[in-house]
Structures are given as C-alpha cells and as structure tokens.
Amino acid sequence: MAETIPPISVSQQKDIRIVEFTNNRILDEANIADIGNTLGALIEEGDNPKLLLDFNTVDHLSSAALGMLINANNKIRERSGQLRLTNIKPQILEVFVITKLNKLFKIFPSRAEALADFK
Amino acid sequence: MAAAGPNRRGNSRSPPPEHGGGRNGRRGKKQQLSFVIPSEFAAGREVQHRIHRALQDNGFQGQSFFAINLALEEALTNAIKHGNRLDPGKKVRVTATVTPLRVEITVEDEGPGFDRTRVPDPTRDENLEKCSGRGILLIEAYMNRVTWDRGGRRLRMIKVNDRGMSSS
C-alpha cells in the first residue's frame, strides 16, 4: 500500500498548535480537501482552539485554498478559538490583498509576532 | 493518469512539443497548443503541465509565470467544476498560444454559461466570509486582458511577459 504524506505537520507551543504545509502548492482539490479535513479535526479537539498557520513552505495557492481557510476560520470562531497566519511569501500575500482577505485574517510577518498575539 | 490525458489537436504543420523532448531546440518559438479533455481535475493538471513547459520555453518566469499559473488553475477549476459540474460526458477545450512576448489562453466548457455582471463581488464586506467566488476575481486581477463570450462558456485571457520581473 502506498504511503501518503500527511498534508500538514503540527507542532505545539503551550496551548497553540502550529501548522505547516508539507506541499508547496495548495492548489489541488483533493489536497485542499485533505488539509481542510485535517485542520477540521484539529479544531474540533477542544474548546477555544488556537491555531497558527505557518505558510513558509507555500509557493502557490488557489481560490479553493482560500475557501478552505475561510471555512477553518469560521469553525474556529464558532468554538471561540483564535487563528493567526504567518510567514506568507510576498506573491501569496498579494493574493490575500487582492481578495481583501487580509482584512479577515490576522496575518503577521514572523512566527514570534503571531505567537505573541494569541490571548 | 494516461486515460485522462489531453488530446492535442490542430496545427499539424508545426506540432507542439512532446513530453521529454529537448528544450533548447524550441526555446523562444511560438507554440500553439490545443486540448480537449474530460471534466476531470487530473486531465486539467496535464494541460497545466504542458502549458507551463511552453511558458518556460518562452522565457516566462517570476511574476508573469505565477500569474498565469494561478489564472489557468482558476479557469480550469471553473470550467471543470462549476461549468461542466464534473460531468464526465462534457468536455473542456483549451487553447494556448505562447510567444516570448505574451500568452493567450482560451478555456471553454459545455455548461450552462454565466453572466459575468451578475457574479457577486467577493471583496465586499458581506461576502468576505463566503468560501467561494474568488476565482474570477483572481483571473481578472492577474491577467492583462480577460473576456468572456459564448454566453460565459468561453474565457479568453492574455498575459504579457514581464521578463521575469517579480514582486518578491
């Protein structure tokens, strides 16, 4: 049986889950659904989930990926949690700016700044 | 994967490149690609690979390459998923004309079509939390010229090569 690489890797700092993406392209529908399901499971593990998404590996992302991130954001908010984004490369950040999702998400230049913003 | 591969058509006098062929011989030459694919994402990816290679052969890189990559992804997703609704009986037709100066791509589906003017603006505050509706916005933002015809079933988009200038 073929081994599949998990779509994200997760580490923890205090009560904050830090998520990194294992693929540099978040484009593919199946990959996006996989990431969404994995994030969904993380979010539903407890109340007040705190998630930091680190985009340092991401070079490409589609509107479907943005939809998945919005869905995760909505789920986190339903559980009174917090979501922060960091290390978004300039080309990808431009996608957030064009879609004005930089107004919806809390985006920080560095991981340290993002971590410091959690309450 | 092979079953979903695109059918190349047209321009028999100057055939588009084959997989695995040497690149040097066709660098900078005008390439015309044409595909008819089933409504499957795997087939769409194969089309993307072929067009990416033609872009690289013609010196597209940096911001231009990123922009076309994103617009093509969105256009194919729209055609396969929203236009043809993943109906295996419906086809998507793609053409790409690539020169060192610019690329022109058309993507046509067999769906019901749509009226561009009636698509809600996803950047309005009340739409920001909606999970879909941003593909068209991104295509129009990243390409130099975008038009829809045939009742919204065919998209035509053009990008001028900025010769590797990058925003990063």
Query: What is the C-alpha to C-alpha distance for residues A66 and B133, in angstroms, rounded to an integer?
Result: 10
Q: Could you report the per-residue pLDDT of A49-82, keeping only the tens digit for each?
A: 999 999 999 999 999 999 999 999 999 999 999 9
Q: Which residue has the higher pLDDT, B101 or A5?
A: B101
Strand partners of residue B144: none
Q: What is the pLDDT of residue B167?
A: 44
Could you tell me if A70 and A99 are in contact, meaning their C-beta atoms sit under 8 angstroms apart?
A: no
Which pTM value belongs to this model? Answer: 0.86
Q: Write the CA distances from B139 to B110, B132, B159, integer angstroms.
A: 20, 14, 10
For residue A108, the distance in angstroms to the closest alpha carbon of chain B comes to: 17
Mean pLDDT estimate for chain A: 94
**E strand or H helix at A25, and its extent?**
strand A25-26
**E strand or H helix at A112, and its extent?**
helix A111-117
Q: What is the pLDDT of residue A2?
A: 53
Residue B64 phi/psi, 5-degree rounding, is -60, -45
Q: If pLDDT is split at 50, 70 and 90, which confidence band does A4 have?
A: confident
Q: How many residues does chain A have?
A: 119
Q: Which of B48, B18, B24, B31 is nearest to B104 (CA)?
A: B31
* pLDDT, one tens digit for every residue, chain B (168 residues): 333 444 444 343 343 443 333 344 456 689 999 999 999 999 999 999 999 999 999 999 999 999 999 999 999 999 999 999 999 899 999 999 999 999 999 999 999 999 999 999 999 999 999 988 899 999 999 999 999 999 999 999 999 998 755 443
Indicate whether A2 belongs to any domain.
Answer: no
- Tokens at A80, concatenated: 């009174």
Domain boundaries, chain B: 2-10+30-160
Could you tell me if B14 and B40 are in contact, meaning their C-beta atoms sit under 8 angstroms apart?
A: no
Indicate whether A3 belongs to any domain.
Answer: no
Query: What is the C-alpha to C-alpha distance for residues B165 and B35, in angstroms, rounded to an integer?
Result: 30
**E strand or H helix at B146, and its extent?**
strand B145-149
Find the domain containing A38 and state its range. 8-117
Decide the pairing of beta strands A82-86 and A50-54. parallel
Whichever domain contains A112, its CATH number is 3.30.750.24
Indicate whether A67 belongs to any domain.
Answer: yes
Nearby residues of A36 by Cβ (< 8 Å), 6 or more positions away: A68, A71, A72
Q: Indicate the CATH number for domain B2-10+30-160.
A: 3.30.565.10
Indicate whether A66 belongs to any domain.
Answer: yes
Q: Which of B63, B70, B76 is nearest to B160 (CA)?
A: B63
Tell me which residue has tokens 């920001």: B128
Q: What is the pLDDT of residue B20?
A: 36
Of the partner residues A62, A95, A104, the one whose CB lies closest to the CB of residue B128: A104
Query: What is the C-alpha to C-alpha distance for residues A74 and A71, in angstroms, rounded to an integer?
Result: 5
Indicate whether A96 belongs to any domain.
Answer: yes
Please judge whether B138 and A98 are an interchain contact, meaning their C-beta atoms are less than 8 angstroms apart.
yes
Q: How many residues does chain B have?
A: 168
Could you tell me if B39 and B91 are in contact, meaning their C-beta atoms sit under 8 angstroms apart?
A: yes
Query: What is the C-alpha to C-alpha distance for residues B101 and B161, in angstroms, rounded to an integer?
Result: 5
**Scanning every residue of chain A, which has its alpha carbon at the shortest distance from the alpha carbon of B40?**
A29
Region A40-55: mean pLDDT is 95
Count of the separate structural domains present in chain A = 1
Measured CB to CB, residues of chain B less than 8 Å from chain A are 41, 45, 63, 66, 69-70, 73-74, 77, 81, 122-123, 128-135, 137-138, 141, 166-168
- Tokens at A34, concatenated: 């996989």
